[in-house]
Amino acid sequence: MSVLFNLEALVVGIALIALGVVWMLANLGYLDLLGTLHRWWPTILMLWGALELARSLARRSLRRGNR
Amino acid sequence: VTARRIGLLLLVLVMGGAVDAAWFLRQNVGVGASGCRVVRGRFYGPSFSFDAQDRRPLTEGATVEVENAFGTVRVLQGAAPELSVSLRKVVYRNTEEKARALSDRIHLQVAPGATLRVSTNRDELERSDPDTGFETHLDVTVPKGTSVVVRNEHGRVDVADVAAADVSGSFETVRVERVAGKAEVRARHAHVTVRDVGAALSLSARHGDVDVQDVPAGGTLDVEHGRITLLRVGAVTVKGLHGSLDAQDVRGDLEVHAAHMSVVAGDVSGRATIETSYDDIEVTRVSGEARLKAEHGGIDASEIGGPLSAESSYDDVELARVTGAVDVRVQHAGVTALDLMKGGRVAVLGGEVSVERFTGPLEVDAQRSTVQLQPAGPLADAVVARTTFGDIRLRVPEGSRMALEASSSGELTVDVPGLAVTREGGRATGTLAGGTNVVRLSADHGSVEVASALAAAASAADSRDVGDEDEDESADERRARRRRR
């Protein structure tokens, strides 16, 4: 198994779900769309970095197990 | 790291940057209270309305001043000898509870004195909380004979049935009607309507149309960037810049000093003094003198009861039925005149001159122009026409008399029954019916033709059969040009 999961698809998928939820809540009047996006958009980068790190660690442990 | 991943990273960063930029704009460029935006003096967003009232006695003939910043101001006449103020507070907040809390802090202020002053405590609220967003709509009822002063910054103003009005408004309609005395109106970014003012009107408007009707005492208007419509007004002076003026049924003198503004005037019972630039002047039925000047524009004047002075450049002057003498100066365009009752003087540089059915002495001084002249009846007055680099054609009606002096550096033709001429080089002189009225025609680098009007008409009829199409086309063009004006 060369790749544990498709990282780009995961990041895009989670980002789309988050954007949709925020947008819907804004339409329902629970929060301010622009303010929320402005405050929280860097979490996409953090999430992506975390997933990148997790995949790298998982790959290393997989290689050790194979040896 | 794959290219696909770098592309995705860039996309995320660009989207984040766009969100940050939008946020920055909202925080730093937006005007007005938090949670709402102000565009052209209006708030947008969820709002809640609350009402308040105030009544107090007011004697007839008092002066009431109403001051407001955001919202409508209406001033009407009431039957009772009292001042009645209805205040509708529209508060922009997300919830009714928050809106009510702010509404409770908004108060109507009525300050007694020689001038009764009606306002709200907006200034005080905005000082303590700059994010307050609310409108105050004031309905004010005053007794008969009250003079009114209204200062409204962002909102509609309606004033009716008052003794005198001094009104300022912006960003919404300003309407002043049925004012017994004088009216003073100032407006910005607003459409102004004024009706039935008993004394003089003084109006200043920027960026908005102005509609004035039934002001017999007339007044002064200073309008920039707007269309002006005047109907049934007294003597009026208009200062205008960028826009148009349509003045009909002016019962007195009309004076217009404009630039980049088209001027149309009809039924002026006094004098018409109009100057504009980069647009046209069209006047019809002026009882008195007309003095018209259009720089880079044309002039169309008809049915002028007095003398006419017209000066234009780069577009034609067209005159019809002028009772007084004319003084026309045109540069880089021509003159067409019909039915000039007292002749006059025409000076043209670089255009065609056609004066038909004229009476009285006429002097034409033209350069690089062809001149066509035809009197209305038998010629008995002096006619002087000079041109360079163009021809002169004079049609002589039956029964005319004159002392002809014609000179030309080109062809010189004289064909009038009863007129025997003596030729000497390029000059021809002769007398018709013992006339002493001098007819002096001089064409430098052009020809002169003096012909009987009857013979010329017959010849024109013959040639019309051949060239009908061209002539119709040019008449159509002329009509189209007038319509465009």
Q: How far apart are CA B349 and CA B329, in angstroms?
A: 8
Give the span between the Cα atoms of B482 and B485, in whole angstroms.
5
- Asked if pLDDT for residue B1 goes beyond 80, the answer is no
For the stretch B66-113, pLDDT in tens is: 999 999 999 999 988 899 999 999 998 878 898 999 999 999 998 888
The total number of residues written for chain A in this structure:
67
Q: In Å, what is the CA distance from B21 to each residue of B29, B34, B65?
A: 11, 18, 45
What b/e readout covers B79-106, taking b as 16+ CB neighbours within 10 angstroms?
eeeebbbbbebbbbbeeeeebeebbeeb
In a mutagenesis test of the A interface, which of B2, B8, B34, B94 is the best target, namely the one with the most A β-carbons within 10 Å?
A: B8
Q: Is B23 on the interface with A (CB under 8 A)?
A: yes
Contact A7 B5 (CB under 8 A): yes
Alpha-carbon Rg for chain B in angstroms:
34
B484 and chain A in contact, CB less than 8 A: no
Are B319 and B482 in contact, with CB atoms under 8 Å apart? no
- Can you give the pLDDT at residue A55? 82
**B8 at interface of A, judged by CB pairs closer than 8 A:** yes
- For residue B33, the SS3 value is coil
Minimal Cβ distance to A44: which of B12, B23, B26? B12
Is any Cβ of chain A less than 8 angstroms from the Cβ of B475? no
Put simply, whether B15 touches A (Cβ < 8 Å) is yes
Task: Give me the phi and psi of B229, to 5 degrees please.
Answer: -125, 125
3-state secondary structure of B409: coil
Question: Over 50: is that where the pLDDT of B115 sits?
Answer: yes
Q: Inter-chain contact A34–B26, Cβ cutoff 8 Å? A: yes
pLDDT for A67 equals: 65
Kindly identify which residue of chain A lies nearest to residue B6, measuring between CA atoms.
A8
Chain A residues near residue B5 by CB distance under 8 angstroms: 7-8
pLDDT, position B473:
45
Judge whether B18 is closer than 8 Å to chain A, CB to CB: no
**Residues B261 and B241 sit within 8 Å (Cβ to Cβ):** yes
Query: Which residues from A are below 8 Å from B when comparing CB atoms?
Result: 7-8, 11-12, 15, 34-35, 37-38, 41-42, 44-45, 48
- CA dist B101 and B120 (Å) reads 16
Q: Is B95 on the interface with A (CB under 8 A)?
A: no
Query: CB A41 to CB B15 under 8 A?
Result: yes
The answer for residues whose C-beta is within 8 angstroms of residue A60's C-beta and 6 or more apart is none
Considering only alpha carbons, which residue of chain B is nearest residue A41? B16
Q: Do residue B8 and residue A8 have CB atoms under 8 angstroms apart? A: yes
Q: What is the pLDDT along chain A (67 residues), one digit of tens a residue?
A: 445 567 777 878 888 898 889 888 888 777 778 888 888 889 888 888 888 888 888 888 888 777 6
User: Lowest mean pLDDT: which of B96-100, B231-235, B322-326, B387-391?
Assistant: B96-100
Does B223 have pLDDT greater than 70? Answer: yes
Size of interface A-B (CB pairs under 8 A): 28
Q: How far is B71 from chain A (nearest CA, A)?
A: 27
Cβ atoms of B206 and B191 within 8 Å: the answer is no
Summarised one tens digit per residue, pLDDT across range B378-424 is 999 999 999 999 999 999 999 999 999 999 999 999 999 999 899 99
pLDDT reported for residue B28: 61
Give the Å distances, CA to CA, from B140 to B82, B117, B135, B168.
Answer: 10, 12, 16, 16
CA distances from B63 to A59, B147, B203 (A): 88, 5, 20
Q: What DSSP line would sit under B160-212, residue for residue?
A: EEESEEEEEEESS-EEEEEESS-EEEEEESS-EEEEEESS-EEEEEESS-EEE
Chain centroid to CA B66 = 32
Residues B263-273 have pLDDT tens digits of 999 999 999 99
| pTM of the predicted model as reported, rounded to 2 decimal places | 0.76
Contacts of A8 in chain B (CB under 8 A): 4-5, 8
- Inter-chain touch B16–A41, beta carbons under 8 Å: yes
pLDDT at position B243 over 90: yes
Q: How far is A34 from chain B (nearest CA, A)?
A: 7
pLDDT of residue A2: 45
What's the pLDDT tens digit per position in B424-480?
989 999 999 999 999 999 999 999 999 998 877 777 676 665 544 444 444 455 445
How close is the nearest chain B Cα to the Cα of A7, in Å? Answer: 9
Q: From residue B364, how far is each of B345, B379, B400 by CA, in Å?
A: 6, 16, 19
Residue A10 contacts residue A58 (beta carbons within 8 Å):
no
| Residue to test with chain B: of A16, A34, A38, most B Cβ within 10 A | A38
Interface contact B26, partner A, CB < 8 A? yes
